[in-house]
Structure 1
Amino acid sequence: MNFEDLLKKNYKPYRKADGQTFYPDSNYRPQSSSRNEDRFNPVLLFSSLRNSRKLKIVILIVLLALLAIIIGIIALLYPLFRSIIDYIADNGLRGLFDEILSSLDTIWNGTKK
């Protein structure tokens, strides 16, 4: 299609949907208001990650921070896990359940002084 055809109105638009007019050889894509644009698209993230050095650095820092937090939580809770395992080894699972039930009973009924 050239400019004279446009002035003479000899062009034939390609109608894809109501209210949208396209030309067959055009790469124009209208903006859509669908909800799919709001969803997370991992392909776009990986393509932008491949091209953006700043995004790589930010994601690396976030992953290292998450790893440090997880290791810190495990280190803080390790003595608790170890004491629970030792208690189970000494008294068995029945003793652990009895201790839990007596604690829950105390919480439910109160101390009743």
Structure 2
Amino acid sequence: MAWVVLVLAGLFEIVWAFAMKQSDGFTRPWPTMIMAIAMLLSVGLLAWSMRSLPLGTAYTVWTGIGAVGAFVVGIAVLGETASLLRVLAAVFIVSGLVLMKLSSSD
């Protein structure tokens, strides 16, 4: 169950990163509010998952989901560049996440 909660926390990290971009420097109230709520949920769920998962594993997976997810949203929704090197970097991050999961005894 901790892994499911951790993935959910990572998904909320993607939401708050996207909402932060949409807030235009906190000048737009609705995206700013969504960002704050998603951030609280993300960190709260991360904390809950850390009750049974190791710190290094949980934090690395959480940030990795957020980083790769924000990268994908940036390309898919915001039209950011998907160069070969950027995609390769995302593949390396995902590879590291898989290795973290495989190396965890939880």
**Which bin holds the TM-score, normalised by the shorter protein?**
under 0.3
The structure in which a higher percent of residues are helix is 2
TM-score, length-normalised on structure 2?
Answer: 0.28
Which protein has greater RCO, CA pairs closer than 8 Å, 6+ apart? 2
The structure in which a higher percent of residues are strand is 1
Question: Is the radius of gyration larger for structure 1 or structure 2?
Answer: 1
TM-score, length-normalised on structure 1?
Answer: 0.26
